[in-house]
Each structure stands twice: as structure tokens, then as C-alpha cells.
């Protein structure tokens, strides 16, 4: 009986030892891990047709507002979603800037972007249009245009 208990205890200890204690991470580490998804999110957005200009506009607005990189992940995901569902948005960066200036952050800001697209009743993007404007075209890759400030 005691042998069985010992085995169970050892198994439990092993499971506990091998499982990362993510819940105990400091906030800044969790935020850094989320921020590390930002380039992956923008890459996925480009693949889905979000233009380099749109991405840079969002990132520039977030940077100028002094927002941390992890907050931009949800925003890029929202941009990707509305771009897919409603097509391109003119002067997108200015809209994001105005929402940031109004104090909107994170999910609230992402929701505002979705609402704005719905309000404007944007239609579906024309097929091929997004890729045409994308900076992922071979001739544009690697140019590394800086963020416009």
C-alpha cells in the first residue's frame, strides 16, 4: 500500500516538475511572450492581404501613443479580420490614432475598429487588390521602410 502511495506521489511530483508554471509568471513576462507574437501576427496579416501601409499605420499609431508591443497584437488581428471581411480602409492610421487619443486600448480599440468598418458599410475587397498593394511583392521585400511618425 505504501509502495503504491509512494509511486503515486512520485508521479504527481514528476508531472508538477515537468509542467511549466505559466500561471506564476510575472505580468511583464506574459506580456513579452504575447509581444513576441507581433511579427508573426503582421506576417499572417500580410499573407491575408493587409497591406504594408495599413500595418505600418497601426504600428506607428501604437508606437506614437507609447503603447507596449503586446497591445498591438490584438489590433493587428482586428485589422486583419476587418480587412478580410470589409475590404481596405482609407486613412486607417488616422482613425487608430484618434481612438488611441480618445483613450481606447486593447480589446476596446479593436472593437472600435470593427465598428467603424461596419458603420462605413465597406464591401468585400476586390480579389487580388490586397496582394497587389502588399509590400510582400518580391520587388518590395526587404526594403524595410521605417515607420512613419
Partner 1 sequence: MRVLHVALAALIAATACTAGGKGAGSTAAATPVERARDAARTANAIANRPAAADSILGAAGFTRETYQQLLYDIAADSAMSAEYASIKTR
* Minimal distance, residue 81 CB to partner 1, in Å: 17
Applying CB under 8 A, does 63 fall inside the site for partner 1?
Answer: yes
Nearer to partner 1 by Cβ, of 122 and 133: the residue is: 133
CB 90 within 8 A of CB 132: no
Applying CB under 8 A, does 66 fall inside the site for partner 1?
Answer: no
Q: Which of residues 100-139 bind partner 1 (CB under 8 A)?
A: 134-136
Applying CB under 8 A, does 39 fall inside the site for partner 1?
Answer: yes
Nearer to partner 1 by Cβ, of 20 and 90: the residue is: 20
- The stretch near partner 1 (CB under 8 A) out of 9-17, 55-63, 83-91, 114-122 is 55-63
Applying CB under 8 A, does 23 fall inside the site for partner 1?
Answer: no
62/48 Cα distance (integer angstroms): 21
Print the SS3 string covering the chain. Answer: CHHHHHHHHHHHHHHHHHCCCHHHCCHHHHHHHHHCCHHHHHHHHHHCCCCHHHHHHHHHHHHHCCCCHHHHHHHHHHHHHHHHHHCCCCCHHHHHHHHHHCCCCHHHHHHHHHHHHHHHCCCCCCCCHHHHHCCCCCCCCCCCCCCCC
* Minimal distance, residue 2 CB to partner 1, in Å: 34
Applying CB under 8 A, does 78 fall inside the site for partner 1?
Answer: no
Query: Which positions touch partner 1 (CB under 8 A)?
Result: 20, 22, 25, 28-29, 32-33, 35-36, 38-44, 46, 52, 55-56, 59-60, 62-63, 68-69, 72, 76, 134-136, 140-147
Amino acid at each position: 500500500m505504501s509502495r503504491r502511495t509512494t509511486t503515486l506521489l512520485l508521479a504527481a511530483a514528476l508531472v508538477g516538475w515537468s509542467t511549466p508554471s505559466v500561471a506564476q509568471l510575472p505580468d511583464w513576462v506574459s506580456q513579452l511572450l504575447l509581444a513576441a507574437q507581433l511579427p508573426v501576427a503582421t506576417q499572417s496579416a500580410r499573407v491575408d492581404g493587409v497591406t504594408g501601409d495599413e500595418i505600418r499605420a497601426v504600428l506607428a499609431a501604437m508606437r506614437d501613443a507609447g503603447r507596449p508591443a503586446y497591445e498591438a497584437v490584438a489590433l493587428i488581428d482586428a485589422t486583419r479580420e476587418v480587412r478580410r471581411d470589409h475590404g481596405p480602409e482609407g486613412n486607417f492610421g488616422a482613425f487608430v490614432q484618434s481612438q488611441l487619443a480618445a483613450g481606447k486600448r486593447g480589446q476596446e480599440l479593436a472593437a472600435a475598429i470593427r465598428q467603424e468598418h461596419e458603420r462605413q458599410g465597406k464591401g468585400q475587397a476586390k480579389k487580388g487588390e490586397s496582394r497587389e498593394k502588399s509590400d510582400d511583392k518580391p520587388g518590395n521585400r526587404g526594403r524595410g521602410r521605417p515607420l512613419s511618425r
